[in-house]
Structure 1
Amino acid sequence: MSHARIIGSGSYLPPRIVTNDQLAADLAQRQIETSDAWITERTGIRQRHLADDGVTSSELAAEAGRAALENAGVGPQDIDLIIVATSTPDFIFPSTACLVQSKLGIKGGPAFDVQAVCSGFVYALTTAEALIRAGRARTALVIGAEVFSRILDWNDRSTCVLFGDGAGAVVLQASEEPGIVGAKLHADGSYAGILNTAGSVSHGCVVGDPFLRMDGQAVFKLAVTALTKSAAEVCAQAGVPVESIDWLVPHQANVRILSAISRRLGVPDEKVIVTLDKHANTSAASVPLAFDAARRDGRIKAGDLVLMQGVGGGFTWGSVLVRM
């Protein structure tokens, strides 16, 4: 049976950067008080990238996909599977993945979206690996892409300071040697109420609340507990101790969550990849953005054992253990 290895990665962030100071000044015009110090202390976020009006998830995804293909040294003709993780698709249908397929000049293979919010990339990577191992695909493009700025209530300080837009991608290819050595996914729909965007479109009208809503304390507690347990599960599945992890690439939501997870796992801070200060929480894009940044700056190297983790609305969570 073939295995699946990551052979390339790429990312894309919209060029418009909004710092905490700039965001605070904008919110002050609406009598909403915040500051760079307040945001940084509570979240670790210093800036976010926001897509201009009219820029879609498929556009961000295509840019990240191009970068990943170039990094992997493969062309559009080599890709026989595309999976895009997103909670902010361009349309109800067709899928964002089909739009990306067209933008990149890829034809023939399946293309579909995965919706698991901030766990989306981990879900998509696990799905692609399973299809490759089953012989249903050989070279997959897996992308996380979001324009969360479109679903934020910019009058809600508790959420609007947390998120940004962006996309990250990897190329996964069949291999005789294991690359993905473990994966474990979970969901518990009974927690749907603590993080959601409950609006929908019906008969041409928006029905319900179209903005992201979150119970921050409940999300924090569940995220830390779930990801700590998930890390232990996937390491046990792979038959390796948690201490052998070279790099932890967690969902980039809040530096306090990252710190709590690393403490519980006994992973030193210097082995945790943190990029949320540069792009905030980009939901399904956050893990591949952080992964790509660490590969390109030389931290993640061939032979390293990397744990990628996602947690998000649903409630969903999961871990993927990768040997580079």
Structure 2
Amino acid sequence: MNGGERTAVLAGLGTCLPRQEVDNAALLARLDTSDSWIRERTGIAARRIAGADVSVGDLGHAAGENALKAAGLATVDAVVVATSTPDRPLPAVAPRIATTLGLGAVPAFDVSAACSGFLYALAVSAGLVATGVAGDVLLVATEKYSDIVDPADRATAVLFGDGAGAAVLRSGRRGDPGALLGVDWGSDGTGRELISVPERYDGFLAMAGKRVYLKAVEHMAGSTLRVLDRCGWAIGDVDALVPHQANKRIIQAVAQRLSLPERKAVCALERTGNTAAASIPLALAHGQEAGTLGAGDRVVLTAFGAGLAWASAGLVWPDITTVRSEL
């Protein structure tokens, strides 16, 4: 591919987190655990939990509105929403968000790939742009895992939080800062029971922790190497790795597997926990604010989640704005 080929370019970021922060101490009354146990094994000190009056659509609307502001746009040609915790099985969340944002009758649909949802939706959105089907696309990742996590299950209750992140993609060329340079994605349905919600309407999330850990490290590291090859980069060229924020040990193990210095792996879950599909855009916003991501940096995004599904993407970080809010 050459620098003139049409591709999707990252033009702005938006985030929205619930105002309520639940720290580890608040969990001790109902769970057989301790603050030190949670921090040592997950790196999480607190997570944001949305109230009953705040929906997945509400969080997604706010994040999407912020991304549009960041990109300086009032409208887009399509809306793609990544979520594994929709407010209802039907209809999709995306048309509601498109309508509440005043975007008119634009095409809008959901993508369900659990913690890999943002990158799956990124790949789909980039395809719309690259083929000329859409010029500008609003990509929203929004989750409310507090609706599906058993508050009495130590294995999951300490991990997950709620939140949303969004990105605006515009049409551009491969030589532009922020251009998507390569994508790798895949799935393995034989592992579908490792992370699942058995009951359609009222079941809780179940997860085989040790096996998920091994699969996450294997697939995120492998997918990262494949996307590096597609971008024409070596591991030493990478300035920042932005992995799905599952837990700190997985992030550390992926960096180690790749022989990448741990300081180059963005870890942004200490005060938010695992926000599934929303974790990568939230981590991007954190990395930009902390100075971990700077204009011109070669950045790789990678994720793994239920399905099993995994994905990675590579881009050169642009000089963009992030707009944040709380609900």
CA contact (8 A) 1:117 1:284 kept: yes
Residue segments in structure 1 that go unaligned for 5+ positions in a row: none
1:48 and 1:156 map into 2 onto residues whose CA distance is 16
Superposed CA deviations along residues 122-163 of structure 1, whole A, max 9, x for unmatched, are 100011001100000011111111000000111111111110
Residue segments in structure 2 that go unaligned for 5+ positions in a row: 318-327
| Corresponding residue number in structure 1 for 2:321 | none
TM-score normalised to the size of structure 2?
A: 0.92
Residue 309 of structure 1 aligns with an amino acid whose one-letter code is: T
Residue 297 of structure 2 aligns with an amino acid whose one-letter code is: D
| Corresponding residue number in structure 1 for 2:322 | none
CA contact (8 A) 1:231 1:242 kept: no
1:96 and 1:243 map into 2 onto residues whose CA distance is 40
CA contact (8 A) 2:174 2:181 kept: no
Identity of aligned residues (%): 39
| Corresponding residue number in structure 1 for 2:183 | 183
Shift of 1:50: 0.1
Is the partner of 1:66 in helix, strand or coil? helix
Give the one of 61, 82, 91 matched to 2:79: 82
| Corresponding residue number in structure 2 for 1:149 | 146
2:198 and 2:130 map into 1 onto residues whose CA distance is 36
Give the one of 3, 7, 18 matched to 2:11: 7
Shift of 1:304: 1.4
2:235 and 2:104 map into 1 onto residues whose CA distance is 41
CA contact (8 A) 1:15 1:49 kept: yes
Higher helix share: 1
Shift of 1:237: 1.2
Residue 234 of structure 1 aligns with an amino acid whose one-letter code is: V
Is the partner of 1:200 in helix, strand or coil? coil
Root mean square deviation of aligned Cα: 1.1
Residue 290 of structure 1 aligns with an amino acid whose one-letter code is: A
Superposed CA deviations along residues 176-199 of structure 1, whole A, max 9, x for unmatched, are 234100001110000011110121
| Corresponding residue number in structure 1 for 2:169 | 172
| Corresponding residue number in structure 2 for 1:237 | 230
Residue 106 of structure 1 aligns with an amino acid whose one-letter code is: L
Is the partner of 2:28 in helix, strand or coil? helix
1:122 and 1:48 map into 2 onto residues whose CA distance is 22
| Corresponding residue number in structure 1 for 2:52 | 53
1:183 and 1:312 map into 2 onto residues whose CA distance is 17
2:58 and 2:145 map into 1 onto residues whose CA distance is 14
2:147 and 2:13 map into 1 onto residues whose CA distance is 26
Is the partner of 1:171 in helix, strand or coil? strand
Matches within 5 A, 1:305-316: 305-316=298-309
1:59 and 1:310 map into 2 onto residues whose CA distance is 24
Count of residue correspondences: 310
Residue 303 of structure 1 aligns with an amino acid whose one-letter code is: G
Shift of 1:109: 2.0
| Corresponding residue number in structure 1 for 2:320 | none
Shift of 1:7: 0.9
Matches within 5 A, 1:109-128: 109-128=106-125
CA contact (8 A) 2:174 2:180 kept: no
